[in-house]
Amino acid sequence: MIRAALVGSFVTFAMVVGDGERGAEAAPLAVTFPISIAVAVEDGTPAREDSWIANQIEDANELYAPTGVRFRWTLRREIPSAHAQIHTRADRDALAALVEKNVIDVFVVAALEDVDEPGRYRKGVAWTSKPTNKRFLILSGAAFRTVLAHELGHFFGNAHTVVPDNLMSYVRTGAQVFLDAAQVERVQSFAERFLASGRLADVGVSRRLP
Ligand SMILES: [Zn+2]
């Protein structure tokens, strides 16, 4: 009985805090999260060139502008050719050993096969490895623009939608790609959760070189 009462009062407290925040029009979020890029290299050639990777991050920053969340490329590494062709769950899970601490890990690979539909190749995936439970993104060198932004959408808690040109949809008509209001809120709430738990830190804006 005591336990139930405590739980009940906690829930009440949480709801009051939540209502207060909504009513007070929370300050806009402004946070920059670090992205670590690991590029698979085969025969001396990276799966994609740095300018292509930079474009993917730039696209993400444009699309996430309404959220107040930005991304900054803070680390670039090359990883061996053994990781260039990702076919199986085991191939994906093997990347977990290479993740960095407190960043969003993105592995850029030459080929990324679907694990549920063998023979189908994917442009990207947000993957949680078993049994380590590490979450990271894999980007195929065949990805078109906005694929990294889409996978970041999953990383920040968003599922697929069928609304054309929504970032989380597979349907593109050529119109401007966007996140809707609920998705923006979800990204913000995940961002706040990542900050609170220490999973990610705000790395601020890039310092200007003299
Ligand atoms: Zn997806």
pLDDT tens-digit series, residues 136-185:
999 999 999 999 999 999 999 999 999 999 999 999 999 999 999 999 99
State pLDDT tens for residues 6-60. 444 444 444 444 444 444 555 689 999 999 999 999 999 999 999 999 999 999 9
Does domain 30-196 match CATH 3.40.390.10? Answer: yes
Q: Output the pLDDT for position 3.
A: 46
Ligand 1 centroid to residue 161 C-alpha, Å: 9
Ligand 1 centroid to residue 195 C-alpha, Å: 24
CA 89 to the chain's CA centroid = 19
DSSP label at residue 66 = G
State pLDDT tens for residues 87-102. 999 999 999 999 999 9
Query: How much is the average pLDDT of 59-77?
Result: 97
Residue 188 to residue 171: CA distance in whole angstroms: 24
Ligand 1 centroid to residue 1 C-alpha, Å: 44
Given a contact cutoff of 8 angstroms between Cβ atoms, the answer to whether 160 and 168 are in contact is: yes
Ligand 1 centroid to residue 145 C-alpha, Å: 14
Residue 46 pairs in a beta bridge with 41
Residue extents of the structural domains in the chain? 30-196
Given a contact cutoff of 8 angstroms between Cβ atoms, the answer to whether 91 and 112 are in contact is: no
Ligand 1 centroid to residue 9 C-alpha, Å: 39
Q: Output the pLDDT for position 208.
A: 54
CA 173-174-179 angle, to 5 degrees, is 85
Helix pair 147-155, 181-197: axis angle to 10 deg: 60
Ligand 1 centroid to residue 144 C-alpha, Å: 13
Residue 43 one-letter amino acid = D
DSSP-assigned states of every residue in 134-179: -EEEEEETT--TTHHHHHHHHHTT-----STTBTT-S---SSPPB-
Q: Which residue has the tokens 């597979």?
A: 170
